[in-house]
């Protein structure tokens, strides 16, 4: 299995990257043709305020926690909110699939996709729907739940739908990776397409990375774009089989065996070390990894072998493990929250201004 996290940051050209460069060129042609075709099509408009949370690169920027944060704010402001997701790697067989009506979760993560399921579980009172046709999903949300505030999860490339505010998240440590399009690099579109965005949020801004160059680079490329800074802050350590939770400092100086199947597993590793955990073992899997019973057995065996006190994963991983893992009291996951490092008031003032214009 290729190490895409390494490939997508490697800037040197060598014989191994030649095939990727060719595929990247062809992918770029396809993207440009699609963008040209979409510019000629009339955009569909939902009956309410529509905000898109997306990115320019593949995975790892925090769209899901950012979506949950904005949904919570809009709900507190009195809006009827719904999240519209494409349901990556979901197995639903309907044009529109209601994961949650805001009160009851209708399906598991295998059908809904792990991220929509996670949002459905965390967002009480907020319906979550998955569909490739987010316009149709929005109409159903409006009809069934009275939705007047629509959040497009991973919506930057969903060009057919008109939005009132387009937010793009970028990792502060590596906004563009090696600067190449897929599969050679992490870019889903050319960098100049960021001009479509209304605002850029640098995520993982406070995670110990050097952010100055990234911020300077963005400002040089994107004149007059509003720039915000945010981080993924550990909120609590949850022990699902004990039905208990503690503050993130609970794992300080404790021997931890950890694993993660997210876009950038090393970020989770760094987070645990930053919390002061004695990380005796760490296993990384590819994003959206489908765990097996054998995986679980190996992870538990590794934990026991290393003499770790707890086995830890991300909350997103736990969503996929929950129905598979036997009762294991030493299993824990880390819950995080998307938090603005600066500019929170300015960000929501911007949302309010757009809401007035809607």
DSSP H or E segment with residue 338:
strand 331-342
Cα three-residue angle 160-227-186, rounded to 5 degrees: 60
The predicted pLDDT at position 234 comes to: 96
Contact residues for 307 (Cβ-Cβ < 8 A; gap 6+): 255, 280
The predicted pLDDT at position 207 comes to: 61
**Cα–Cα distance, 20 to 268 (Å, whole number):** 28
268 close to 275: Cβ distance less than 8 angstroms: no
The predicted pLDDT at position 212 comes to: 47
128-130/97-100 β-pairing: antiparallel
Residue with token string 């305020």: 49
pTM of the entire structure? 0.94
Domains and CATH numbers, the chain: 49-232+339-357 (3.40.50.300), 234-338 (3.40.50)
The predicted pLDDT at position 225 comes to: 81
**Cα–Cα distance, 129 to 119 (Å, whole number):** 10
DSSP string, 177-235: TTS-BTTTSSBSS-GGGGGG-SEEEEESTTSS---HHHHHHHHHHSTT-EEEEEEEEEE
Contact residues for 201 (Cβ-Cβ < 8 A; gap 6+): 66, 167, 168, 169, 170, 227, 228, 229, 230, 347
**Cα–Cα distance, 307 to 303 (Å, whole number):** 6
Per residue of the chain (358 residues), give pLDDT as tens: 677 777 888 888 877 788 999 999 999 999 999 999 998 899 999 999 999 999 999 978 999 999 999 999 999 999 999 999 998 777 777 899 999 999 999 988 888 889 999 999 999 999 999 999 999 999 999 999 999 999 999 999 999 999 999 999 999 888 888 999 999 999 999 999 999 999 999 998 876 555 446 677 777 777 778 899 999 999 999 999 999 999 999 999 999 999 999 988 999 999 999 999 999 999 999 888 999 999 999 999 999 999 999 999 999 999 999 989 999 999 999 999 999 998 999 999 999 999 998 7
The predicted pLDDT at position 215 comes to: 72
The predicted pLDDT at position 216 comes to: 73
């Amino acid at each position: 299995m290729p190490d895409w996290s390494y490939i997508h940051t490697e800037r040197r050209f060598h014989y191994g990257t030649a095939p990727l460069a060719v595929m990247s060129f062809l992918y770029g042609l396809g993207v440009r043709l699609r963008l040209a075709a979409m510019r000629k099509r009339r955009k569909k408009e939902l009956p309410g305020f529509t905000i898109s949370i997306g990115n320019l690169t593949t995975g790892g920027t925090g769209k899901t926690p950012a979506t949950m944060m904005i949904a919570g704010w809009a709900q507190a402001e009195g809006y009827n909110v719904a999240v519209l997701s494409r349901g990556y790697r979901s197995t639903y067989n309907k044009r529109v699939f209601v994961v949650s009506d805001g009160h009851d979760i209708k399906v598991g993560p295998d059908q809904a996709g792990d991220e929509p399921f996670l949002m459905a579980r965390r967002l009480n009172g907020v319906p979550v729907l998955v569909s490739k046709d987010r316009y149709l999903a929005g109409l159903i949300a409006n009809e069934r739940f009275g939705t007047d505030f629509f959040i497009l999860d991973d919506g930057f490339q969903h060009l057919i739908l008109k939005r009132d505010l387009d937010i793009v998240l970028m990792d502060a440590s590596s906004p563009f990776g090696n600067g190449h399009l897929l599969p050679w690099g992490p870019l889903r579109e050319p960098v100049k397409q960021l001009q479509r965005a209304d605002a850029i949020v640098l995520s993982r801004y406070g995670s110990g990375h050097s952010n100055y160059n990234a911020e300077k680079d963005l400002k040089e490329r994107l004149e007059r774009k509003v720039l915000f800074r945010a981080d993924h802050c550990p909120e609590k350590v949850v022990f699902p089989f004990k039905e208990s939770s503690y503050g993130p400092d609970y794992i300080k100086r404790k021997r931890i065996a950890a694993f993660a199947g997210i876009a950038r597993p090393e970020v989770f590793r760094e987070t645990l070390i930053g919390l002061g955990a004695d990380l005796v073992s760490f296993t990384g899997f590819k994003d959206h990894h489908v765990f097996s019973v054998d995986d679980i057995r190996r992870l538990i065996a590794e934990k026991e072998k290393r003499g770790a006190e707890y086995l830890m994963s991300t909350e997103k991983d736990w969503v996929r493990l929950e129905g598979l893992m036997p009762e294991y009291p030493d299993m824990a996951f880390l819950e995080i929250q998307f938090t603005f490092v600066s500019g929170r008031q300015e960000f929501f003032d911007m949302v309010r201004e757009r809401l007035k214009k809607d």
